[in-house]
Amino acid sequence: MVRPRDSHDLRLQSAFLNISPKAEVRWLFDVFNNSVGVALFEEPADTLDIESIIVVDRYSFEGREFPIEPFAQEIPFSYPAREIPDLGRTIERHYQDPQRCITDWTRRFLSQNSGTTDTEDFLLAVTRGIRDEFNYRERYEPGVQSPVELLKTGTGTCRDYALFMMEAVRSVGLAARFVSGYLYDPSLDMGEGVKPDIGIEEVTGAGATHAWVQVYLPGAGWVEFDPTNGSFGGQNLVPIAVAREPEQAIPVSGTFDGNAEDFIDMTVSVTVNARSTLVDVA
C-alpha cells in the first residue's frame, strides 16, 4: 500500500514504483477501496528494495469549526438510520475492556454538569489528551498494543495512539477508522517550495510511515485527527489507506521462501517535502 487515495481532497499527479528484484506488479482495490499493489517476483534475491515516489496536490480541511449537522453537534447523538448499514462495524468496539478502563478514560472528556457534550470540543480534547498523557516512542516490531495495554505501559507508537483513539470515540457511539500514510514536517523539509504553517509547533513521528484516525461526523464527513500530534484536519497528512482496524492497512506485507533466520532486518525511510513524497523501503 503505497499509492495515495485519489479524491477531492488529494489529487495524485504522478506515481513511480520501483521494486528490486524485478517483479510483476498488478493492482487491485481492496474492500475499503484502497489501491493495493501485488508483486510477484521472478528470481530469488538476498535483498528486497521498494521505492515509491509520488507527487500530490493536497486540499485539506482547514476550518476551525466542523460543519456538523445540528443534530450531531452534541454527544450523544444517533447516526441516521440510512447510514448505519454502511458505517457498520466502524461504530463497534473491537477490543475487550472488561474493567472499563478505556470507557472511564474517555468519560473524563464528557460534560459532568449536563447530559450533553459539544462534539467538536470532545474530539479535540481526546486527541490532545492522548498526545499529552502518553509517551511516544518508535517501534518497528509488527502489530499494535491493545488500548488497555497502552494505558498500562503509557508508551506507544502512532499506530497505538490511533487504535486507542478509535476505541475511545467508539465508546461514545462515534464511527472511527484507521488511516495509514505519511506525515509532513516543515522542519525536515530542506527542499525548495513554500513551507506552510500547519498549526503544530513540533511535529512527532515524521520520517517513517504514520497513522492517524478519521471520525465520521454528519455534515462534515470523515474528519482526520492525529492524536500523536494533537492536531486535526489533515493539513500535513497524506492518506494512503483507510481500514476498520490497523491490521487491514499494513504498508508492506507478504511471504518469502527460505529459512526463518534468513530475514535479518527491515528499514523504512519517508521523506516529504512541499513538492513531493519519497518512500524508500528496504
> pLDDT, tens digit, for every residue of 145-164?
999 999 999 999 999 999 99
Cell 449536563 found at: 114
| CATH, residue 200 | 3.10.620.30
Instruction: Evaluate whether 12 touches 56 at the Cβ level (below 8 Å).
Output: yes
Residue-level pLDDT at 195: 53
Label residue 279 by pLDDT band (50, 70, 90): very low
Question: Residue 85's domain spans which residues?
Answer: 61-252
Evaluate whether residue 48 is within a structural domain: no
One-letter amino acid for residue 63 of the chain = G
d(CA 210, CA 281): 14
Evaluate whether residue 264 is within a structural domain: no
Please count the structural domains in the chain. Answer: 1
Task: Inform me whether the pLDDT recorded for 61 exceeds 90.
Answer: no
Evaluate whether residue 33 is within a structural domain: no
Q: Grid coordinates standing for 77?
A: 447523538
> Which range among 172-176, 198-202, 205-209 has the greatest average pLDDT?
172-176
Q: Grid coordinates standing for 65?
A: 469549526
Evaluate whether residue 52 is within a structural domain: no
Q: Which residue has the higher pLDDT, 281 or 53?
A: 53
Sign of the alpha-carbon dihedral angle for 219, 104, 167, 158: positive
CA distances from residue 229 to 121, 157, 199, 203 in whole angstroms, order as listed: 17, 12, 10, 6
Label residue 281 by pLDDT band (50, 70, 90): very low
* H helix intervals, 89-220: 101-107, 119-133, 147-153, 158-170
Query: In whole numbers, what is the pLDDT of the chain averaged over residues?
Result: 89
Task: Inform me whether the pLDDT recorded for 194 exceeds 80.
Answer: no
Residue-level pLDDT at 199: 61
Task: Inform me whether the pLDDT recorded for 196 exceeds 70.
Answer: no
Evaluate whether residue 118 is within a structural domain: yes
Q: Grid coordinates standing for 79?
A: 447516526
